[in-house]
Structure formats: structure tokens, C-alpha cells
Amino acid sequence: MPDVKHFEPDAVLDQVVRLFWERGAEVTGIAEIVRATGLSRSSLYATFGGKERLQAAALRRYLERQSRPVFDALAADQRGLPAVDGFFERLVAARCTGKHARWGCLVTNAHTGAAREVPEIREVLDAHHGALRAAMRAALRSARELGQTRPGLDLDACSENLALLAYGVNLRSRAGAEPAELLAGVRAVLDGFAHTEER
């Protein structure tokens, strides 16, 4: 007769997301995960697989619950450059204040770890990057249609630029950068995208 789970896997995964996000997946061992969740090693492995598969599941959960709603909102916002500026204002505020202050972004943090080479984890990192880049491109397309951007702006290159800028904000905020410093850097980039009359 199969064992009956006496725990909720989704709730456990949420605990793991929080643990990896706050502390970092690289430095969090299975013993610490066992202590935080109250599960045995055998239950963890039977439900989620090894640590790499657990990290991949945590990254997918973070992407779907934390990142995609923000990306979808940006893509749907048709204000152009003010929408991008607002995205970064909210990002800086989330990274520097509140209950997740100085935690950075779980996905961005994973880019710096050895597990980034694991195919299942690489797939999530690439999906996150693609969704972020697409949202930035949608906002820049609206900006161009509104006449806010300088002539000849390469939307693909600039959306990649903004995605990389978001990673930079995530990493620098985790290292203690001040909000004003981060926003000044963001606005210098956006100023370079703007039509002369918009500056």
C-alpha cells in the first residue's frame, strides 16, 4: 500500500522558495531544508527529487508567482517609457524595502551559482529572461508608437539592455546599494532611449 503524504507539497515548496531566496540556494544544504520544512530527507527526495530538482521547482514557482504577474503588467501598460520607469521604481522599492529587502531576485541569484548549468534550471532561467525581455520590448514598442523614443532605436537590443539592467538592480540591491543610486542609473539609460523632445 503506497505511503500517504501527511504534508502539503505546495506549502513545503513555498517554504523552500523563501529559504533559497533569502539565504541563497548554493549555501543552503539539505539538512537546513529538512530543519526548515520539518520533513525527513526521504520525504523530500521522494516528493521533489534531489536538491537540483528542488531548486528547479522553487525557481519555477518564483517565476510563476513573483515574476510573471509583474512582466504581464508591464507588457500590458501602454504608457511607453513612463511604464518602464514605473517598473524600475517598483523593482527598486521591492528590493530595498519591505519584507524581502536585500534578498535580490531568486532567479537572478541563480544565474551566479554552479547549478545554472543544470538543464532543468537553465530552462527556467531562460524562460525568465525571455519573459522579461518580451515585456520590456512591448513597453518600448508602445514608447515608439507614442513618439517617445529617438529615431532608429533598436528595440531588440534595448529590451535586452533593460533586462540586463534589471539583473543589475537585483544584484546591487542585494549588496546594499542605495535606492537613489539605483534609480539614477536606470534613468540615465532611459534618458538615452528618449526622443530629444522627451528629455
Of 118, 107, 99, 114, the C-alpha closest to 166 is 107
pLDDT reported for residue 5: 55
CB atoms within 10 A of CB 108: 22
Backbone angles phi, psi at 149, to 5 degrees: -100, 155
In a domain, 57, yes or no: yes
CATH number at residue 121: 1.10.357.10
Closest CA to 136 of 111, 122, 153: 153
SS3 149: strand
Domain range enclosing 160? 52-198
Q: Is residue 15, in this structure, part of any structural domain at all?
A: no
- Number of structural domains (the chain) is 1
pLDDT for the residue 120: 96
Counting residues of the chain whose pLDDT is more than 90, the rounded percentage is 90
Average pLDDT over residues 1-15: 73
d(CA 158, CA 149): 11
Q: Is 37 a member of any domain?
A: no
C-alpha 29/C-alpha 158 separation (Å) is: 38
33 and 19 Cβ atoms separated by less than 8 Å:
yes
Cα-Cα-Cα-Cα torsion 39, 40, 46, 48, nearest 10 degrees, comes to 50
Residue 39 CA to residue 18 CA, distance in Å, equals: 16
Share the mean pLDDT of the chain.
Answer: 93
> Is residue 126 assigned to a domain?
yes
Is residue 3 one of the residues assigned to a domain?
no
Instruction: Confirm whether 39 is domain-assigned.
Output: no
Residue 145 to residue 155: CA distance in whole angstroms: 12
Q: Is residue 9 part of a domain?
A: no
Type of residue found at 62: Y
Is the pLDDT score of 198 beyond 70?
no
Q: pLDDT tens, 108-135?
A: 999 999 999 999 999 999 999 999 999 9
For residue 195, the SS3 value is coil
Count CB atoms within 10 A of the CB of residue 107.
24
- 128 is a domain residue: yes
Task: With CA atoms as reference, report the closest residue to 71 among 61, 83, 59.
Answer: 83
Alpha helix segments (H runs only) across the chain: 9-23, 30-37, 41-48, 51-62, 68-76, 81-96, 106-110, 119-145, 155-174, 179-193
Q: Which of 2-11, 82-91, 129-138 has the lowest mean pLDDT?
A: 2-11
